[in-house]
A and B are shown apart, each in its own frame.
Chain A
Amino acid sequence: MRYVVRLLMLALAVALATWVLGWIAVPLVAVAWGALAGREDGPVEATIGTLTAWMALLAAAAFAGGAGTVARTLGGVVGIPALVLPAVTLIFGAAMAWSAAVVGRELARAAGRGGRAAALAVAAAGSMAACDRPIGGGVPADTAFVTDTATVERVVAGGEVTLTGRYHPHPGYPDVRATCFSIDEASAHQLPRVATGERRVSLCFENAEEAARSLGPPGTSGDATIVVDRYAAERADTGAVDAARLVRVLSRAPEGSIP
């Protein structure tokens, strides 16, 4: 639902911007959308939003009258059948929107890697928090951004994912009494990674109490198949943290406990 609302909001923005600024508003909005949304499917969203907006504007023109004459006349001027003209109009808008959004997305990524574009950070973080895209398709959803104080890379993904691997005590155990999970290669590809992440794929559970109940008290280890959601991977200048919420344990083979 939120996805639909977001697209409608985008369409409204495109329509208003087109009304005020003209056709050039489409690439401008799409670039911004691609950069700010940060998601892989930002260009698709920009395209859908633009198509929706321009279809609405065309419908308004047709309702106000004269659209048929316009189509015949303009079609004649540019040498295409009148009925094709609305399609050409939409294709023109869609092509601008998609391509501009892709460019925006890539520019934002490049800026993040270079440690620039500070102003984008806050808005980007906000939009990522709202992310609810399922990660089950194995599609990377990483992005890069910076805060105004320290460089951070962060990837997030919503939805549940099933992972296999080994659960074990937090490296800081016993000072840190928590259980973490090293993901085997077979299931690690389902998770997005920070662009510069070369670390071993592992995470700790944000719901430590639930993890203790399901996998055993801190200090225990073993193989398990688990379901997590709200996966997030962050890398700051001071270190890196991957975390997820343990939803349930599908199977577990404990090895014993560390005294």
Chain B
Amino acid sequence: MRPRLSLVAAVPVLVGTLVIGARPVGPLPPLGALLDPANGAWALGRRAEHPGDLTVRIAALDAPVRIVYDDRGVPHIFATTERDALRALGWAVARDRLFQLEVQSRAGGGTLTELVGPAALEADRATRAIGLAEGARRRLAAIPRDGREWEALTAYAEGVNAWIDGLRPRDRPLEYRLLGARPSRWEPINSMHLLGRMGWTLAWNNDELLQLRARAVVGAAAADALFPIHSPIQEPIQPSGGRTPRDDFRPPPPPGPPEEDARLVAHAIAGLLPPPFAAARAAQGDAVGSNNWAVAGRRTRDGHALLAGDPHLELTLPSIWYEAHIVIPGELDVYGVTLPGAPMIVIGFNRDIAWTFTNTQADVVDLWREMVDDSLHPGRHRLDGTWRAIEPSVERYVDRRGRVLAIDTLRATHRGPLRRVGGQWLSMRWTVLEPAGEIEAFLGAMRARTAREFLDATESFAAPAQNMLVADRSGTIAIRSAGRYPLRSGDGRGDLIRSGESSSEDWRGEWPLARYPQAIDPIQGFLASANQQPKDSRDDPGYLGSNWPSPWRAIRINELLRADSAVTVETMRRMQTDPGSPRADRFVPAFVAAARSRAGSAALARAAELLDRWDRRYTRENDRAVLFEYAMRELDTRLWDELRVGASPPPSPGDAVVAQLLTYPDSPWWDDRSTPEVERRDDILAASLEAALARAERMHGDPGSEEWRWSSRRQARIDHLLGVPALSARGIPVQGGPSTLSPSSGTGRFGASWRMVVELGPELKAWGIYPGGQSGNPMSRRYREHVAAWRDGALDTLRFPRTADEIRNAAARAELRPTGGGR
């Protein structure tokens, strides 16, 4: 009898342990591959750091390659050919970041379901629906097979695959164990997916929807004023000769009658961005914040040109960047950061030049409303009076086991992806989807010897458009907003949906290079970009984009550089986390003056007093920024009440538009339509400030309490790629607020993804940091290595040896040899 009883107990225990061992149950990952003490995660601890010396045979190599890891875990790759160098780069990146390679590429290719299952289905559908997957295929197909780009892509893939092929199951990264998956082999298309994904992050501007939603509420004239194609405050990237920002203010026309057509269309296409993408966009919010600037030698203390850059992107662990140094003696010697999956150094320096980017924010995606032959299953669209065939394609979404999760039929016109959004069929053209020469541009940039050579090399760069800043050892500094900008018919605007029935509405070409925003060695002796409108509207009133980010950061950089004719490396470093805020400088006096002009309550007087005593610096210790931010939020609510109607009101206009309104105290926009009185500027400012104090006290207690400290309110959040809290770094108090040089977003998920300062003296010197470390293995001490230093605005000295023997305190070495033994 007893054996039977034990069997009754044993069977469920056995089944239970096998199930939780092999499959995820609820929030738990498959426990077997995790808890296995020989091959599971326990083994990852054993192999978290690179062994001191390693020799690997790689069939694809032409000759031996030596990799020396310095004390920061940065691989210095010494090869004899570019192909071998890129093979080694692929190998080294895969060694440290294998899971990241795969997940980021799959995100760009719409195949995440094959790794993580149905949870990613909507994201994959969105990716494919906007054409990223097909775009990558087309861009890859357009690359000549006998050219340098193809060679780079295949060499990189060979390196990644060499690592994968030598990977034992017990060495698989933790994330694969959490998902119960195994690494996939790397193909050249994966690199294109990655670049496409970056294009989506940086160059997806759907201003059409914004315009429609505004027009639907307040009419065309008002919408154009609130979401203008030219920033009301001009501090352009291409210097315009001004010594201060130019306020290009004009009174906004009053709210006009709603446009019914716009309302219908706006309502119909409200879901232009599928939910996962829309959520990501919303989270990005005001976090756009990349900066770069360069100073000519005549304005630096030591007489050498200086360059600084800090691209702001979503912060992740591991970082989106990976540091590497590639040396091909006599041919190439380049250091910088690469995107895992990209066969090149993206931002960095060589012995002669240094370069960095900010996003141009140009409008490079347009929509056309198409007439189709069938509102549900169209096969043709109308163009120039004739019906033209629509190209269909069937997309299958499968899980890890190949089970089909969903099937979509996608369509395209000659312009690009055709989608049914609401009741409308909209086709789209987007530079990111079209063949371009990004890889060729970067490979050329890596070898450039002068700033001019760099500009020549990057002429072919198409998307995502970037403000490319470069400085060289001769002291030349230069910038160009590189990319491909469409020429449009009529008024040239791209923020309105055009009719798809006429080919005359198609793009008519591209901007000529001479028209690009650019400058070389300007008289002012420095150059700066911070996502602001690149050219002063007086210099070029043409359409490049609309609703530009408010130029507060650009103003601050220019302000600091104009005031300093002996700039140092330390100055550059401190600027990257400078807590000053031209935004606060504009608005705080206005709030205080408005409050004092009103014989209001004691609370209002107290709020004005509190705000007036603030030094307007977003330091971690300050306890006044919270009041100011609440006041700005209250102001937003009160000021833009005219827009808050309808099912999908547009987001609020930018702060620069509000700053413009400050100069028109009687503008009808100040009126709060919910009250019988007619409010003027100071009424609204005072009411906003008083409400802000009440809100702050209600939520955080008395002013001066710990809860009012900025470090308690704004914290960086660096999430692991899968969002696993234990593998993330959260609650990191950082210096900076909205529109400071290191802006912090509300979610904390965006920030300076890489900070770099380069001094271009006789011997180039560089400093840099990103939040995190080189290793993607959470068990490694290098996983979170630089988070604390990054938080404090510190920079590491970057090792830039000419030979392997120069590297002192090498952390590890790897010798890659051809299978045949090599030379």
Contacts and interface: CB of A to CB of B under 8 A. Distances in A.
Interface of A: 15, 18-19, 22-24, 27, 40, 43, 54, 57-58, 61, 64-70, 73-79, 88-89, 92-93, 95-96, 98-100, 102-103, 105-106, 109
Among A19, A22, A89, A99, the one with the most B-chain Cβ atoms within 10 Å of its Cβ is A99
Contacts of A27: 14, 17-18
Contacts of A67: 42, 45
Interface in B95-117: none
B6 interface: yes
Q: Please provide the 9 A-B residue pairs with the shortest distance between their CB atoms, ordered closest to farther.
A: A76-B726, A66-B45, A102-B10, A99-B14, A57-B37, A70-B45, A99-B13, A23-B36, A99-B10
Contact of B7 (A70, A76, A102): A102
A76 B727 contact: yes
Contacts of A78: 28-29, 31, 34
A77 B37 contact: no
A189 to B, nearest CB: 14
B779 A92 contact: no
B778 to A, nearest CB: 5
B123 to A, nearest CB: 22
Contacts of B727: 73, 76-77
Given A65-B45, A70-B42, A73-B726, A98 B13 contact: yes
A18 B35 contact: no
B530 interface: no
A95 B13 contact: yes
B27 A100 contact: no
24 contacts: A15-B38, A18-B36, A19-B39, A22-B32, A22-B33, A22-B38, A23-B21, A23-B35, A24-B32, A27-B14, A43-B10, A66-B45, A73-B41, A73-B174, A73-B779, A77-B726, A78-B34, A92-B31, A93-B35, A93-B37, A95-B16, A96-B21, A98-B13, A106-B6
B364 interface: no
Contacts of B32: 22-24, 92
Contact of A79 (B6, B17, B27): B27
Interface in B427-442: none
Most central of B28, B36, B779 by chain A CB within 10 Å: B36
Contacts of B9: 99, 102
A5 to B, nearest CB: 23
A92 B46 contact: no
A24 B21 contact: yes
Nearest to A78: B28
A36 to B, nearest CB: 16
B337 interface: no
Interface string B22-55: 1000011101111111111111111011000000
B3 interface: yes
A23 B41 CA distance: 12
Contacts of B22: 24
Nearest to B22: A24
B376 interface: no
B41 A74 contact: yes
A39 to B, nearest CB: 11
Contacts of B34: 74, 77-78
Given A23-B32, A77-B29, A18 B38 contact: yes
Interface majority SS (helix, strand, loop, mixed), chain A: helix
Contact of B17 (A18, A61, A70, A99): A99
B341 to A, nearest CB: 25
A158 to B, nearest CB: 20
Given A19-B38, A77-B724, A78-B28, A98 B10 contact: yes
A73 B169 CA distance: 20
Given A24-B21, A43-B10, A61 B37 contact: yes
A70 B45 CA distance: 6
B811 to A, nearest CB: 15
Contacts of A15: 38
B11 interface: yes
Contact of A61 (B45, B49, B178): B45
B402 interface: no
Nearest to A63: B46
A106 B1 CA distance: 12
Contacts of A89: 35, 37, 42
Nearest to A67: B45
B44 to A, nearest CB: 6
A190 B21 CA distance: 41
B242 interface: no
Given A22-B33, A23-B35, A92-B17, 18 more contacts: A22-B36, A23-B32, A23-B33, A66-B779, A68-B45, A69-B45, A70-B779, A74-B41, A76-B725, A77-B726, A78-B28, A88-B35, A95-B13, A99-B9, A102-B9, A102-B10, A103-B7, A106-B10
Contacts of A43: 6, 10
Contacts of B16: 95
Contacts of A76: 724-727
Contacts of A109: 3
Contacts of B27: 79
A92 B14 contact: no
Interface string B518-560: 0000000000000000000000000000000000000000000
A94 B7 CA distance: 16
Contacts of B18: 27, 96
Given A22-B38, A58-B42, A92-B35, A73 B778 contact: yes
A23 B18 CA distance: 10
A112 to B, nearest CB: 13
A43 B10 CA distance: 10
B29 A92 contact: no
Contacts of B36: 18, 22-23
Contacts of B41: 70, 73-74
A69 B174 CA distance: 13
Interface in B35-80: 35-46, 48-49
Nearest to A69: B779
Nearest to A19: B38
A105 B9 CA distance: 14
Contact of A99 (B11, B29, B46): B11
Contacts of B14: 27, 96, 99-100, 102-103
A98 to B, nearest CB: 7
Given A65-B46, A66-B779, A92-B21, A22 B169 contact: yes
B48 A69 contact: yes
A27 B169 CA distance: 19
A56 B202 CA distance: 51
Nearest to B32: A23
A23 B22 CA distance: 10
B102 to A, nearest CB: 19
Given A70-B42, A73-B727, A73-B779, A102 B6 contact: yes
Contacts of A102: 6-7, 9-10, 14
A15 B28 CA distance: 25
A58 B778 CA distance: 19
Interface string B723-738: 0111100000000000
A68 B46 CA distance: 11
A91 to B, nearest CB: 9
A19 B169 CA distance: 11
Instruction: Determine which residue in B11, B726, B727 has the highest number of CB atoms from chain A within 10 A of its CB, and name it.
Output: B726
Contact of B43 (A61, A73, A77): A61
Nearest to B779: A69
B580 to A, nearest CB: 38
Contacts of B39: 18-19, 22-23
A35 to B, nearest CB: 13
Given A23-B36, A99-B11, A66 B17 contact: no
Contacts of B38: 15, 18-19, 22, 57
A97 B811 CA distance: 41
A58 B46 contact: no
Contacts of A57: 37-38, 42
A66 B39 CA distance: 14
